[in-house]
Amino acid sequence: MKRIQDFGRWLPILGLIACMSCQVKWTETDNGGFKRIVNQGGRTLGYSRSSGIRILTVDGFAFKDLNKNGKLDPYEDWRLPVEQRARNLASLMTIEQMAGLMLYSAHQSIPSAGGGPFGASTYQGKPFRESGAKPSDLSDQQRKFLTEDNLRHVLVTSVESPEVAAQWNNNAQSLVEGIGLGIPANNSSDPRHGSDAYAEFNAGAGGKISMWPGSVGIAASFDPSLMRQFGTIASKEYRALGIATALSPQIDLGTEPRWSRFDGTMGEDPTLATDMARAYVDGFQTSEGTDELADGWGIKSVNAMVKHWPGGGPEEGGRDAHFGYGAYAVYPGNNLKDHLKPFTEGAFRLDGKTSKAAAVMPYYTISFNQDTLNKENVGNSYNRYLITYLLRGKYGYDGVVCTDWMITKDTKNVFVFQGKCWGVEKLTEAERHFKAIEAGVDQFGGNNEMGPVIQAYKMGVEAHGEALMRQRFEQSAVRLLRNIFRVGLFENPYLDPVESGKIVGNPEFMKAGFDAQLRSVVMLKNHGQTLPLKKQLKVFIPQKYLPGGKNWFGIETKESWKEAIGPALANKYYQVVAKPEEADFALICIDSPKGGTGFSEEDLQHHGNGYVPISLQYGPYKADAARETSLAGGSPFENFVNRSYKGKTVTASNLQDRNTVVDTRKRMGHKPVVVVVKCSNPMVFSEIEPYADAILVEMGVQSQAILDLISGASEPSALLPFQMPADMKTVEEQKEDLPRDMKCYQDAEGHAYDFAYGLNWSGVIRDERVKKYKP
């Protein structure tokens, strides 16, 4: 035995001696905390000095001996195809290692401040501020789930800076490189390129990260090449932050105008959303030139996880499925097919060489009565028909399927932000994992602990035998490993923090984002060619009201007022005055109506069913045209099925926005009033349009972009990617799953605020974009 052990020690040295006769084709440099190896005509490697791995030289090339066995295993050989490497590695993994690979962490900020809705974090047992830890250090909890639970997919939220994010990535990669089979971390992010209204754009200056309109804003350009440009730039910034997977794009069709996640969609039109989805994924996933490793994938690629299969848009009454009161997606128009198109004809049918999106996330919803095989009404990730028969079978998708976050956790009622186990509330956490695996799921979002996955495996062994369950786990492992191999993380997961600081938010990227903002603003009204308005006129800008209330996590904020546009920025364009009477024109910045969530604990306490309307108007709205009987219901937490809110009344929490417009109009007399609406949802314009001379709609831009447009420095060119309803009656009568089925608002100029409508300085836009997408 001793001789065998001694021989094992000599294996790496013997490998080097054997290679002395061949030409060494690699060079090594020291990059601070890690070493970099350049293979002549091959892959560049990076490895940590502290991870303990060795470098093997085979045929003159360098390879990382990730499992430290002194030989080159197929998964360590970067010359082999991804599929062969992934299958080899999966075959070497223990059940515990595969279970860890199937986890996706809860939200992780860098540094982890602790507390809040996602739990407390510590550093050597102390809160960050008391620990003396560096911002880039791993928290105790992160070390645990990386080492004890074998987790390799980390969801990163806020970061202190690009440099800190890069160093944190290096620390995490060094830790996991030195344990087990050396599988690197595949870090991810939700969308992080939103615009700060108060930030100023200066040509030639950088920023924290490039700022772009929201997805629905880019969709308003009606130009898929702009969406692809966003993806290309965002992917480079993601990789510089250590992020290799995007939990995006959100390609749900916005067919239900009241849905709280409407602004994350690409609008309500199936054709436009499909083209935008394809462009987004192509931009994120494609590496070109020397960055490409194989088949379009490479070191600048970011795996795109498209969401939410089979379309999360048709929520009954607009209520969202983060809560039990919004658990049901309904199809009164029998129109599931349109909701599948952005996936099947867009994200799964790319123009680029990567072919299709790397991953899919089903939504929390129960797609009511859509399971034509088993007739089950359970959350989408638990539905075998939707995942195995439809997604994988009919549409041939063999990428990763990852659940949305916390679907396996418990909850106690329909209105608290806890687990989202809709349709399987009575199962245990382990049983939910098993049911999702049986449905065809590969990964569990928001689960840091492998225990329930191991329990699910044991249930499967009991039901199907160990050989079949081992095969099933390897199947998921291969899918997950592909996404790590394809983007080059096994070869070099390390970053140069200084270089990351130069890439993220660089001047070129900032300018591209700002230009996109200018192209995303829709001009709805321009009475008498009010706009553009010359610079240095006197302008009155009323303060903006922020209603108080509770967020999803139950955290309360008090009502407040703030400057609608920073005075220093506004004064670069116009002379800001304190009173309307002194102004040449007024500029009013408001939000679309905040009409509630569709559920009221107060109504429940007063012996109602808790369900109330979601309003798209500011003033009081009574839902006389609502359904007598809801289409779906049946939560075990409710002793009734009918979720109707017919006859109930709600008022938008930001009613003051309407009052500000009306009051300012009175005080301005006949002088121009310009209204800028930040639209999170479609809205009823009858309450404010008569009081405005010009109306602009924006979907997440800097105030500077608005000032450039109204001053004539740029010309509006965007089109509405959705309809604006004439009234709430048409909102109630439209069908949640059908696009463009509302009566549209018509203004005093006779213009209908319909899909693909918009104005420029010459009038109504009727260009090639309108011809292509307008039905």
- Catalytic positions, written as ranges: 269, 404
Write the single-letter amino acid at 82: V
Question: What values do phi and psi take at 316, rounded to 5?
Answer: -60, 125
Q: Give the integer Cα–Cα distance in Å for 402 and 102.
A: 9
Q: What is the dihedral of CA 131, 133, 136, 140, to 10 degrees?
A: -50
Closest CA to 307 of 237, 401, 439: 401
Buried b (16+ CB within 10 A) or exposed e, 161-181: bbbbbbbbbbbbbbbbbbebb
- Helix, strand, or coil (residue 402): strand
**Degrees (nearest 5) of the Cα angle 341, 263, 340?**
10
- Residues contacting residue 339 through CB under 8 Å, at least 6 positions apart: 252, 253, 255, 310, 311, 313, 314, 737
Bond from prior residue into 111 cis (ω within 30 degrees of 0):
yes
For residue 104, give the H/E element and its range.
strand 103-104
Whether residue 569 contacts residue 707, with contact meaning beta carbons closer than 8 Å, is answered with: yes
Closest CA to 574 of 675, 692, 708, 705: 708
Whether residue 206 contacts residue 505, with contact meaning beta carbons closer than 8 Å, is answered with: yes
Whether residue 445 contacts residue 404, with contact meaning beta carbons closer than 8 Å, is answered with: yes
For residue 8, give the H/E element and its range.
helix 2-19
For residue 770, give the H/E element and its range.
helix 768-773
The upper half-sphere exposure of residue 112, i.e. CA atoms within 13 Å in the direction of its Cβ, equals: 27
Q: Give the integer Cα–Cα distance in Å for 351 and 416.
A: 42
What is Dmax (Cα atoms) for the chain?
A: 99
Tokens read off for 65: 């001996």
Token look-up 């969308």 returns 191
For residue 282, the tally of other CB atoms under 10 A from its CB is 24
Whether residue 661 contacts residue 594, with contact meaning beta carbons closer than 8 Å, is answered with: no
- Residues contacting residue 670 through CB under 8 Å, at least 6 positions apart: none
Write the single-letter amino acid at 458: K
Give the N- to C-terminal CA distance of the chain in Å, as an integer: 78
643: DSSP letter: -
Write the single-letter amino acid at 311: G
Could you tell me where the beta strands, DSSP code E, fall in 512-567?
522-526, 538-540, 544-546, 549-550, 556-557, 560-562
Looking at 310-391, list the stretches that DSSP marks H as alpha helix, in order from N- to C-terminal side: 336-341, 384
Q: Give the integer Cα–Cα distance in Å for 281 and 219.
A: 14
404: DSSP letter: P
Tokens read off for 113: 């401040």
Q: Give the integer Cα–Cα distance in Å for 281 and 283.
A: 5
Bond from prior residue into 607 cis (ω within 30 degrees of 0):
no
Closest CA to 640 of 610, 603, 614, 599: 610
Q: Give the integer Cα–Cα distance in Å for 219 and 276.
A: 7
- Helix, strand, or coil (residue 129): helix
264: DSSP letter: G
Closest CA to 62 of 29, 105, 107: 29
Give how far Cα 630 sits from Cα of 277, 332, 338, 421, 633, Å.
32, 11, 23, 21, 7
